[in-house]
Amino acid sequence: MGEKLETRKYIFTVEGETEQWYLLWLRDQINLCPVRAYNIAIDVKVNQSPKKFFKGTNAKTTPYAFHICDVESNEPIHTAKFQNILSEMREAKVLKKITYRLGYSNFSFELWLILHKKECNGSFNHRRQYLVPINQAFGESFEDLDQYKQEGNFKRCLSKLTLEDVKHAIRRADAITARNEKDAKILVKYKGYSYYRDNPSLSIHEVIHLIMAECGVL
């Protein structure tokens, strides 16, 4: 009998169910990987407000956590919403000594999913424009993003992915970040966090990279 692997736990708060389903899928893929150094447990809660989550926990049980969210747009209402999330994440550190790490997508989580299968370097004007590359990436014909986000449809897309696709997504996301830096795109710094104002940009790949590297599957 082989040596029993240690389990590492990762705590997430996320904006919606698609992010939750993805993270649980990733957990299962890592735990099936024969070369993994650790098993992982992912505690993921759908909660758009980090503050609502950290009010009910403490640094002893939750020393660090990740928040996955979207920038959505540069409109004032969306900028204010996103920066309020960053403020709440900062509060977790100040009030509870809980370190929150950000994994954002600009405009939306769909960018990260597309990168598993193909490049997505164009700048969009609206989140609904991700529909075409989603259909192209997964060989689907969804009529709108709401249809794509239905549980059965979304999980069918996940079933077409592998850990190799995740590695490709990380590399493509790294290239986007490098290009934004090279082109001197506007990097906003707020409450100890930073993000690129314009799309495409993201940092969710940094979170996924961290987990996969710690587990020895990258």
Is residue 173 one of the residues assigned to a domain?
yes
Is 1 part of a structural domain of the chain?
no
Residue 19 domain-assigned? Answer: yes
User: Which residues form the domain of 196?
Assistant: 7-214
Please report the pLDDT score of residue 1 as a whole number: 38
Work out how many domains the chain is built from and give that number. Answer: 1
This prediction's pTM: 0.94
Let me know if residue 88 belongs to a domain: yes
Please report the pLDDT score of residue 190 as a whole number.
96
The answer to whether residue 58 is domain-embedded is yes
Q: Which two tokens stand for residue 76?
A: 């004032």
φ, ψ of residue 123 to 5 degrees: the values are: -90, 130
Paired residues of 12 in beta bridges: 44, 66
**Which residue in 150, 165, 155, 113 sits closest to 134, CA to CA?**
113
Q: Give the pLDDT confidence score for residue 88 in this predicted structure.
A: 96
Residue 189 inside a domain? The answer is: yes
pLDDT at position 74 is 86
pLDDT averages per 10-residue partition of the chain, 218 residues:
81 96 98 96 94 91 95 91 96 94 96 98 92 98 98 98 98 97 95 95 98 95
The confidence score (pLDDT) of residue 3 equals 67
2 falls within a domain: no
